[in-house]
Structures are given as structure tokens and as C-alpha cells.
Amino acid sequence: MAEYIAPTREMKFVLKHVIDMAEISELERFQDASEDIVEAILEEAGKFCGEILSPLNVVGDREGAELTKEGVIASPGFKEAYASYAENGWTSISGDIEYGGQGLPVTLASAVYEFVDASNMAFSLCSMLTTGAIESILAHGSEEQKNTYLEKMISGQWAASMNLTESGAGTDVGALRTKAVPYGDGTYRISGQKIFITWGDHDMTENIIHLVLARTPNSPAGTRGISLFIVPKFLINKDGSLGAQNDAKCVSLEHKLGIHASPTCVMAFGEEDNCVGYILGAENKGMAAMFTMMNNARLNVGIQGVGCSERAWQMAVDYAKDRLQGVAVGATKPGPGAIIEHADVRRMLMTIKSTTEAARAITMLNAKALDLGEHHPDRLLREKYTGLADLLTPMSKAYGSDIGVENASIALQIHGGMGFVEETGIAQIYRDARINPIYEGTNGVQAMDLVGRKLSMMGGNHWRAFLTEITDFAQNLPLEEEFSAMRKNLKLAAASTRESAEWIVAQHVDNMRSALAGSVPFLRLFSVTVGCYLMAKAAAAARAELDNGNPDTDFLEAKIISSRFYAQQIVPTAVGLKEVIMTGDDLFFAIPSEKM
């Protein structure tokens, strides 16, 4: 199995020509993110991921994390790789300068994160969770908390975990039972158990900062009564040194389908009635702090899906070029040829390639919207990009993670019987990718969020303006034949999305269940429409580069072909979802539950 090769040329093209990252680097805060700096960081990240992280991917799958009496021990080589990862500054790319970070855009950090994920998804999850915790402390923490935790978390010296899920509660966070009792000295005593805690314990860093959702005494029922607490693995002395181990530990590891090197822990807090926690933000306002973590994680999980899809593409195309089998229809050479010459194999390869590129562009535009929504000096533009980020986050998470699974499955199919055995490695990508549609709010939850909340925000101004932007772009595409189907299908997709959205919004008044019944296909339709828009941008930019004499003809011509394939082969299937979306919920509930 060949090692991962980071698609640095592809990522540079997306950042420069598709999402126009120059709009970010023009801001005073991000002037250091010049084009040459971005390119240098991407190149170095690609090398690190290919040389250090990728070889550990199969090692971690075969020799997963282990729970011992002393705690969880990381897979062989992971601790050393993490030390090098932190030492080389990969944990601090977008970290706040005030706390030792590099202060570069989230967009650039997101691009690097795709490389990390594609090379070793299990490894990438540790830093992803730490990034989410950093954002939550930065947004909701006191000055003392920021000064205590952020510098060492940003540097990679300390890691973090998110402790939300409980047995019997699951997605219904409001049903959690973990308790937090005030102790009288500004601390709380935490007691309860959390399940499915990714990287809840390990030996890669000297401390782990757990963020734990819990209830204080007499708190309101449901989500209104939830607070968020900082619970360090090791308590921290006033001088910043580490003290005694807290009463928080991993009591078991889950045996999982994939990501074996990522320890998924059952965490017990307060078994000895001495788990010390510190409230983060206001009491009973834990959901707001949690969503700061969750929104960051949702984008990153979508990027994980793109990374899995990219890795699947590389493995599938390599195998298809090497595997000799049969004589393809239309072959010009006698005797068996490589399976890449067969039409259906080409269909599968082009599906993986084009959807990976579309999903990548969506996640990078999402990251750009976050950067500009937070930092642009113009209030109206901040509102515009914040609204765009609100729309794109469920698309990034759901479309990116779904594509990761779908394309890993297609890549396994291309491998044939060899894909079903472990030695080729593609089975690991499929198994690892499968968690992403479940993580951080299932993709059904993402669809409910888009349909039930995001479409009605600001009276629907954001999505209507975005669809108008897409339609206008389609209308102004070049008139040459190579753009004709793209122009037609992009306009059709935008119109179908608009009609579906208007129908859904109308259901909010009388039949929200009917709106939710079509939420998942609507999320796919909207995502594919945005994907086609960004692929069309890529094709137009590639054509302009070719016309201006750019010598990288193979790459640029392939970019146009991939965009045309997406418009002609992927978009029509999504447009057909309009009828599905607008059918309503009648047949969903026509059979009584007890008779199912």
C-alpha cells in the first residue's frame, strides 16, 4: 500500500482560485498569511503527514490504544509523532497570538487539518478536540482560565477532550445526569460517567483538559439546566506546575469498527467523591459553550470525511492502474489491460475525484466564512459571512462525511475482492470513515438544524442571497461548449434548491414534521448545488489560467473535466431530490409504529 501524498497543488488552487483566500490575507490581522507563506506551510505539512503520520496509520489500526493500570497508552509511535507534531508548530497554526499561537487563519489551519486527517485520521482526532476546547475557553473562559490553560493547549503540551454523551442520553443532551456540586471555594465536585469520549485518556501529553457537561443542584430540567466545567486530569498548582491527579479516569475502552488508535473511553468522574471542576462560563449556560466546541468540530469532521475520500481516491487510482484484468471495450492494445480502462471503473474513479473536490471546496469556503465572519472590519460583511458559515457548517459536516463513506466504499469496490481483505488497506479507510456521519451530531441532526433553524434565520435572507449569487454566476459562465451543461445544470440546481427551501419554510407554519421528513435529501441537494457552484468557479479559473499560458496543462485540463463530470453526472441525481423533499411525511407514518 502506497503512502499518502498530500494534494498540495490541489489545495493551493482551491485557496487561491476557488474561495479567494486573498480576501482573508488582506485583513490586517492576517497580513502574515501571504501566498508564499501559505504555500510553504502546505508543502511542509504535506511532507510531515506523508513521512511521519501516514506510515503510522496501519500501525494504529493493527495495534490500537491500550488501557493499563496506569491509564491509556497510545499506539506504537503515536506519542513520538505527537511530540514532533507539536514541536513543529502544527497545533498552533490558528492559535491566538496572545497565548503563543501563530495567529494564522482558520482557513489555512483547516487545509492543513485535511492533510493530517487523510494521512492518519485516528491521530488527527486528538488535536481536533483540543482545538474545539481552546475555542470554548477563549470564548467563555475567565481571564484566569485563559491564562492557565490556553498557552499550553495551543502549544500542544496539553490536550483536551469533550465529555458530552451519557448512556441513555445520547443526542438528547438535556437528559444527562452528571452532577456538579459547589464546594464553597469556587470549585465544584463532579460526579457521573460519560461514554464515547474520544481521546479521553492517553500518554501523549502531560495533561488533559476535560470539558464536562453537568448539572448543578436545582438546575432547570432539560438543556436549560446544563453547565460546562473544566476538569483537568492533573490539578494545576498556583505556579502553573502540575499537582495531584484528579478523580477522573478512563474505566474502559470501546472495541470499535475503526479508528482503533483513537481511544474511545468510558470516563468516570468522582468515583472517590473528589473530582474537582471549574465552571466555564455562566451557570446553566453550558449549551452555548458546548456549541462553540461543536461548531468547530462539525467543520473539522466534514474535513475528516474529505480526507478519507482523498485517501480512498489515491488508493483506488493506484490499484486501478496496476490491476490487469480483461480486455476493455475500446482497447487499442491486445491482451489484458489495467482495469482503469474499463468504463465502469472510470465512472467510479471520476465520481470519487469530482465529489472529493466539491466537498473540499465547500469546507474551505466554510472556513473562510468563519474567518471573515469573525474578523472583517465591516459589520455588514461580518453578518454576511457569519450567515454563510451558518448555512455551510451542516453542509460541510454532512456532505463531507457522507462523501467520505460513499467514496471509501466505491474505492473498495474498485479493489474488488482484494478490497474486502485487510492487506490492501482500503478496508481500514472505509471502517475509519464510517464514524464521521455519526460524530458531533448525526447527519440527520445536521439536516434538522439546516431545515428547522438555519432556513428561517434572518427571514431567510442569507440562503436566498446565496442562491441568487449562484444563479448569477451560472448565468455569466463562459459561452463555450465546455461550459454549456455546467451553466444549465447549475441554474437548474439553484432553482430546485430555492423551490424546495421555500416549500420547507412554508411547512414551518402548519407541519414541521413534513419539513423534517425532507431534511436529509434537502441537505444533499443544497450541498451538491454549492459543490457545483464551486466546481464551476474552479473550471472557469482553470480555463483562464490555460488561456493566459499557464504551462500546468494536465492539472488544469483535468480540473475542467472533473468539474464538467460533477455538473453532468452528479448534479442531475441531486436535482431529482426536489420531488422527494416536497412529497411530505404522509407515507413515513402511514404504517402505525406498533405494526412496523
Per-residue confidence band for 173, with pLDDT thresholds at 50, 70 and 90:
low
- The percent of residues above 70 in pLDDT, for the chain, comes to 99
Residue of 440, 482, 502, 557 marked active site: 440
Task: Please answer whether residues 452 and 435 qualify as being in contact, where contact means their C-beta atoms are separated by less than 8 angstroms.
Answer: no
Share of the chain above pLDDT 90, in %: 89
Average pLDDT over residues 540-547: 97
pLDDT tens for 23-76 read 999 999 999 999 999 999 999 999 999 999 999 999 999 999 999 999 999 999
Is residue 320 within 8 A of residue 329, CB to CB? The reply is no
For 406-445, what is each residue's pLDDT tens digit? 999 999 999 999 999 999 999 999 999 999 999 888 999 9
| Alpha-helical runs (H) found in 49-163 | 54-62, 78-87, 106-119, 121-140, 143-155
Q: What is the pTM of this model?
A: 0.96
Q: Domain ranges for the chain, please list them.
A: 442-589
Reply yes or no on whether 440 is catalytic.
yes
The residue whose grid cell reads 473550471 is 539
Q: How is the chain split among helix, strand and coil, in percent rounded to 5?
A: 60, 10, 25
Residue type, position 331, single letter: A
* 318 grid coordinates: 493506484
pLDDT given at position 289: 83
Dig out the grid coordinates for 228 from the structure.
460546562
User: Which pLDDT score, from 0 to 100, does residue 442 have?
Assistant: 94
Q: What is the mean pLDDT of residues 123-145?
A: 95
When pLDDT is cut at 50, 70 and 90, the band that residue 222 belongs to is confident
Q: How many CB atoms lie within 10 A of CB 112?
A: 23
